[in-house]
Amino acid sequence: MKKRISIFCSIVVLALPLLYAKNAKDSLLAISYTAPRDTNYVSTLFILAGEYATSNADSTIWYAKEIYRLSDSLKYKNGIGRSHFMMGLSCYVRGMEDSAMAWFQRTLDVFNETHDPDGLALAYHNIGRLYTRRGELSKAKQYVGIALDLRKKHSSPGAVLSSISMLGLIAGEEKDLRKEEEYYREALTIAQSIRPFSRAGIGMAETNLAWVELKKKNYSRADQHFQHALQMYREMRDINGVVEVLLGLSRIAIEGKNYTAAIQYSKQALDHSYRTINPDGIVKGTEIITEAYERIGDYKNALKYHRINSAQQDSINRMFARKEYVNALSRFETEQKESRIIILEQENRLQSMQRNLLIGFIVLAVAGSAAFVIRYKEIQKIETARQAEAMQREFSALLLAQQEQERKRISSELHDSLGQNLLIIKNMIDLGIQTKQPVKKLKDQLSELSEIASRSIEETRTIASELHPYQLNRMGLTKALNAMMRNLEQSTKLKLTYSIDAVEGLFSKETEAHIYRIVQESVNNVLKHAQASTLDIIVKRSSGLFSVSVMDNGKGFTVHTVRSKESLVGGFGLFGMNERALIIGGSLKVQSEIGKGTIVALLLPA
């Protein structure tokens, strides 16, 4: 619900007149191809950018840059402010909160300069929205309140509706049901007053009021609001809205112990969610169906839908992890591009300075000035390159830390959630024992469920260990590496020899994690690519030096080719291992030749 409110609040101001157009985006695109390049064209691009805001970040960024380019050529500051806003909205959607805040502040600065009340309200509203996401509700209420005051004086009813709905969301986060209901009722009144009335606004307000009544356990009123919302969403053909209402109705049915109705509503929501690829709807629908079947004692169907729910949640977790990784990689590439741009800009400024100085020095006939200019340029280039390199290393450290934190989070979630799943299976076994069934059939069912439970426990331990080995936190680096070796001996046909010195107390937990990942990546490379029959691993501490050597007799490779830019396109590989080594103050050496195996050596002061 919160996600839908947030998305609604962000784009309703941009495209309210387009809500009833059959294909508004295509119409705007057609207009944009033929329209003169003036301030009206900038407004068209702004609406188009809003249309893509939640579905295609790259398109939003492209339109934002185009708005800036045209507005700058027209000396149209309000257009520049809109460009900054769209960049901020794109960052917000991708979870880049610090960047989003910076862009929204720039938006605020521009519209303060131009005294544009609509632009100011837009900036204040979205800064408040960002504070809501961060949980800073006092600041959120302050900024959205300013936006509402401005919009009541200067903006359309749709814009006022957006800010009031946002205040309702904030009140809900503060657990203030009275204020939450007041805001949503005011939003409903405004939506009904718009001509033609806003189906989207009415549907959202009715849905929000239904959830408020549900919290208050007023199930009859909640049902009425949901039915009104369902009518609006069906008229709009808003499938996601229909799904949310059906899930709300199924929750009312659960609370009223009408489990058959709850299953029917949830299955309808599930059908819509599958057709529109709505993962959130699938998860919530299967949760309610599982609960309903469990309450009526149909454990077979409860287990069936519980498995679907677990599979979907795993898929969402993997999708979230991939998205975080892609976003981090995108930020990394952006930093690199910005560093190169800084270097080019400084070089251009220096070249311009050199030309100006050269002309002045020729006029003054000062022959020694040329040497000063050249020396100055060299120093600036070195300093610029050093700063760019430092920025890149800092970001690499942040990227790797984020990956490690994500692995820990997923590991913890798998441990907790699958443990709960197994508890459900155990309870089902206990309940199955109490039912009157033939003994043989009952034993077969219990045996099957017990097998599933044992297999699930083993899978949990394996997955959790691969993501972030518990030995590393509980017992330290030495035992974690030994555990890795034992697993290798049991799971591969490699002839493995290893020697691992005790290294407890030498390094911080973060450094130990980097060392473990370097060894793990080296071993994985051998298993995946080397086609080796033997593997030797030595972890040694001596004379103030810590070293790790991973040696195989595999097919080998050409080191400089693998490290080249073209080869890195497919993955993080040696580059990631090398970055980890640099972060912890060590060095990574890779020695390999075709047909002569590979040696990977990590050296680190101890």
Task: Quote the percentage of the chain above a pLDDT of 90.
Answer: 24
pLDDT at residue 375, rounded to an integer = 73
Q: Which letter does DSSP use for residue 552 in this model?
A: E
What's the pTM value of the predicted model, to 2 decimals? 0.49
Does residue 176 belong to any structural domain of this protein? no
pLDDT at residue 16, rounded to an integer = 40
SS3 category, 367:
coil
* The dihedral sign for the CA sequence 112, 118, 123, 129: positive
552 and 590 fall within a common domain: yes
338 and 385 fall within a common domain: yes
Does residue 277 belong to any structural domain of this protein? no
Contacts 24+ apart (CB under 8 A), 249-256: 249/223, 250/285, 250/288, 250/292, 251/214, 251/288, 252/214, 252/219, 252/222, 252/223, 252/226, 254/288, 254/291, 254/292, 254/295, 255/214, 255/217, 255/219, 256/219
Closest C-alpha to 32, from 10, 49, 53: 49
Give the C-alpha separation, 296 to 293, whole Å.
Answer: 5
Q: Which letter does DSSP use for residue 584 in this model?
A: T
Closest C-alpha to 201, from 234, 248, 152, 158: 158
509-525 and 477-491 are packed helices; what angle lies between their axes, rounded to 10 degrees? 20
Report the number of secondary-structure helices (H) and strands (E) in the chain.
23, 5
Structural tokens at position 332: 């990394």
**Residue 386: domain span:** 322-426+456-467
pLDDT tens-digit map of 558-603: 877 665 543 443 345 677 788 888 888 899 999 998 998 999 999 9
**With 60 as the cut, is the pLDDT of residue 41 above it?**
yes
553 and 573 fall within a common domain: yes
Give the C-alpha separation, 1 to 163, whole Å.
Answer: 16
Using an 8 Å Cβ cutoff, are 206 and 249 in contact?
Answer: no
pLDDT tens-digit map of 409-439: 566 656 555 666 666 676 666 666 666 667 6
341 and 390 fall within a common domain: yes
504 and 565 fall within a common domain: yes
**With 90 as the cut, is the pLDDT of residue 473 above it?**
no
**With 70 as the cut, is the pLDDT of residue 528 above it?**
yes
pLDDT at residue 339, rounded to an integer = 47
Q: Note the Cα 308 to chain centre separation in Å.
A: 23
461 and 505 fall within a common domain: no
343 and 462 fall within a common domain: yes
Number of structural domains (the chain) is 2
List the CATH number of the domain containing 510. Answer: 3.30.565.10
